[in-house]
């Protein structure tokens, strides 16, 4: 079986949700996890901190390095990557998971929110990638995995939230572009996105339109990420992947255990 044992992953936004799930899945293999996120103290409305996830990683069998990181801060990102490499002796994968969301039409998007989405989603992912690249070159199976959707220019994917869609598509464009740039270095770069809505704190941004019972747990994305990150980097790069398709390719046929409530119909993700 493919494994992430002794591999070092730098995961942004890993204090909760999908980032946390990816960290815990890798930890079960015995991986080294850099938990890079802003939340270092308990938030009144959001679950998890870098320290609580570090404890979970260690309990699951991995090694953890919790680092308070704002992906918008260039100096801090460089410092954190240097800390990670010094602590674990190298770097094998970057997971660009940190993301900001604001699902509103243009007139209802304050420029502060617009700037936040593009600073975190686009600039932050690019900054983390360019900072990690020199270290990834030294790995024998280096990966960059960006959590962003397949690009579809049908206007219906833009009409209700143009700014957010543009920021997420820019992440996917970056993932594809890096794949071409880094081909000769043997560094794989792919995007990954869920087939259905995932049960995370971001559900609150949907204003109650989607019931948690009609979603899947973050573990489906964690298992799909694991399949991507454990595959040879030469096998696939520059792809915009869907969690369910990745897992079907890996031999998974029953997806009921990922559902919050298997008796309820699932809600497709807003980009699919």
Cα 218 to Cα 46, 60, 191, 193, 194, distances in angstroms: 16, 17, 16, 11, 9
The structure tokens listed for 248 are 């079907």
CA distance 251 to 245: 10
The residues assigned a catalytic role are: 164
CA distance 207 to 160: 14
Cβ-contact 211, 261 below 8 angstroms: no
CA distance 43 to 15: 11
CA distance 10 to 229: 12
The structure tokens listed for 188 are 């794989």
CA distance 234 to 236: 6
Q: Which residues of 99-133 are buried (b: 16+ CB within 10 A; e: fewer)?
A: bbbbbeeeeebeeebbebbbbbbbbbbbbbbebbb
């Amino acid at each position: 079986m493919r494994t992430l044992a002794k591999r070092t992953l730098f995961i942004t936004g890993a204090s909760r949700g999908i980032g946390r799930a990816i960290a815990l899945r890798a930890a079960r293999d015995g991986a080294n996890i850099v938990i890079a996120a802003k939340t270092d103290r308990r938030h009144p409305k959001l679950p998890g901190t870098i320290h609580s996830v570090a404890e979970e990683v260690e309990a699951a069998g991995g090694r953890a390095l919790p680092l308070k990181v704002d992906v918008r801060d260039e100096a801090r990102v460089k410092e954190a990557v240097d800390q990670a490499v010094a602590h674990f002796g190298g770097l094998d994968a970057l997971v660009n998971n940190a993301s900001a969301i604001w699902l509103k039409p243009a007139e209802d998007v304050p420029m502060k929110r617009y700037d936040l989405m593009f600073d975190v989603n686009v600039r932050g992912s690019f900054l983390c990638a360019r900072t990690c690249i020199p270290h990834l070159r030294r790995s024998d199976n280096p990966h960059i995995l960006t959590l962003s959707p397949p690009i579809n220019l049908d206007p219906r994917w833009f009409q209700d939230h143009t700014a957010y869609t543009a920021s997420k598509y820019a992440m996917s464009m970056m993932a594809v572009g890096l794949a071409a740039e880094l081909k000769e270095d043997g560094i794989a770069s792919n995007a990954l996105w869920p087939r259905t809505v995932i049960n995370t704190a971001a559900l609150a941004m949907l204003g109650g339109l989607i019931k948690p019972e009609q979603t899947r747990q973050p573990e489906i994305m964690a298992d799909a990420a694991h399949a991507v990150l454990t595959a040879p980097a030469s096998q696939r790069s520059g792809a915009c992947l869907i969690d369910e398709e990745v897992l079907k390719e890996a031999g998974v046929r029953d997806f009921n255990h990922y559902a919050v409530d298997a008796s309820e119909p699932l809600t497709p993700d807003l980009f699919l």
